[in-house]
Structure formats: C-alpha cells, structure tokens
Structure 1
Amino acid sequence: MFQRTVLQDIITRISEPRKFIQVLVGPRQVGKTTLIKQFLKKTDITHYFVTADDLYAADNTWIRREWSNARLQLQQTGSKEIL
C-alpha cells in the first residue's frame, strides 16, 4: 500500500499534548481516509472512525450521534483519550 508522506507529520502531531480537536480536511479523493487508516494501524490510542461521505442531513443530528458514540466508547474502554 502506498504510504502517504504526511503520515509521519500526523504521528508527530497526535503525540503532542492536545487542547483542541484535531481535524483533517481536504478535497474529495486526495487520500484523507487512506492516511487516517494507515495512522490507526500504527497507534494504540483508542479510536472511533466514521465518515460523512454519504451524509445528506441538513441538521446536526449526525454529528451529535457520532459524538455521543465516541464518548460512550471512551467510557467503555476506560481510556484517557479517543481519536
């Protein structure tokens, strides 16, 4: 599998102390999902992965639901953080 050159930047950034949400954005089909999946294979940090590829909702229902799901997973695993 092709490894994105920015992968090491992501690893370094996630290893730093965080006070804010980290967001990966970019145009369609540039490799954001590939990059994150490569990163998740290299980390032992608890993570919750979801995409908004097929999202057509005009309200905030989706983000509220996914935020709740991530918080629930954090509680269930007893982790200090979740990606």
Structure 2
Amino acid sequence: MSYERPLLAPLRAALSRPTPVVHVLIGPRQVGKTTITRQIQESIGISSIYATADSLVPLDSAWIETQWRRAVAEEAASGGPEIRVLILGSSALLMQQGLTESLAGRFFLHRCTHWGYPA
C-alpha cells in the first residue's frame, strides 16, 4: 500500500502541464517532500532527472549549470515537453529570501507540513 499526501495531486497536476514558473516545495525535514517528488516522477509520464544539493561542500553556479544541461539533454533526447523545475528545501526562510531576490514573480510556492489526522 502506498500513501499519497494531499499535496501530491495538485502538485502533480501543476507539473503535468507546461508551466512558465519554477515550483518550490518547502517544509520541515522528514515531512515527505522527497517522497512526493518520487511519486510524481513515477506517475507523471514524462522523463525526469533528480539532483540533490545536500552536500558537505558548498555547491556553486557550475553545479546548477550542470543540472540544467542534464535536463536540457534529457528533454532533447526524449523529445518531451518543455522543462519543468521543482525545487525542494527544508530551510524555508533562507529559500524564500533567495527566491524573492532572484526569481520574483517566476515561482510558485507549495508548503508541505507535518502529518495531520483528519477529524
């Protein structure tokens, strides 16, 4: 049995169609951000790549460029739709500060919260 968080359906729908914005999924550690991402990858029906920036060594712009080139190459090889970007992060305040400075108006923020119990 596989559990799907309520956030999965709207996020999958948003990433299933061409979108001009970067989607950002934020929330505390261990709430299911990566699990949701993997479930989307398995069910969306388009090729995808996954890259993690969790590194002991700080990553620079060259790492970002490498990931972008991987995505462009994958998209060209598959003849697939335009590239969609989903960024995950647990440091909401730091991410929001960086996003508002560099991607103002070009991203959509999704919040992944702790598990709830329906009443």
TM exceeds 0.5? yes
Shift of 1:22: 1.8
Which of the pair is proportionally richer in strand? 2
Alignment of 1:19-58 (within 5 A): 19-54=20-55, 56-58=57-59
Counterpart amino acid of residue 26 in structure 2: V
1:66 counterpart letter in structure 2: Q
Runs of 4 or more above 4 Å deviation: none
Closer, same or farther: CA 6–64 of 1 in aligned 2, 3 Å:
same
Unaligned runs of 5+ in 1: none
| % identity of equivalent residues | 35
Q: CA RMSD in A?
A: 2.0
Question: Are residues 3 and 37 of structure 1, via their aligned partners in 2, closer, same or farther at CA, if it must alter by over 3 Å?
Answer: same
* TM-score computed with the length of structure 2 as normaliser: 0.59
Aligned residue pair count: 83
Against the structure 1 CA distance between its residues 28 and 13, is the aligned structure 2 distance closer, same or farther, given a 3 Å change threshold? same
Once residues 58 and 49 of structure 1 are traced to their aligned partners in structure 2, the CA distance between those partners, rounded to angstroms, is: 16
Q: Is 1:10 aligned to 2:16, yes or no?
A: no
- Alpha-carbon contact 2:75-2:83 (below 8 Å) kept: yes
Q: Which residue of 1 aligns with 2:91?
A: none
Q: Which has the larger radius of gyration?
A: 2
TM-score by length of 1: 0.79
Residues 74 and 80 in structure 1, CA contact (< 8 A), matched pair in contact too: yes
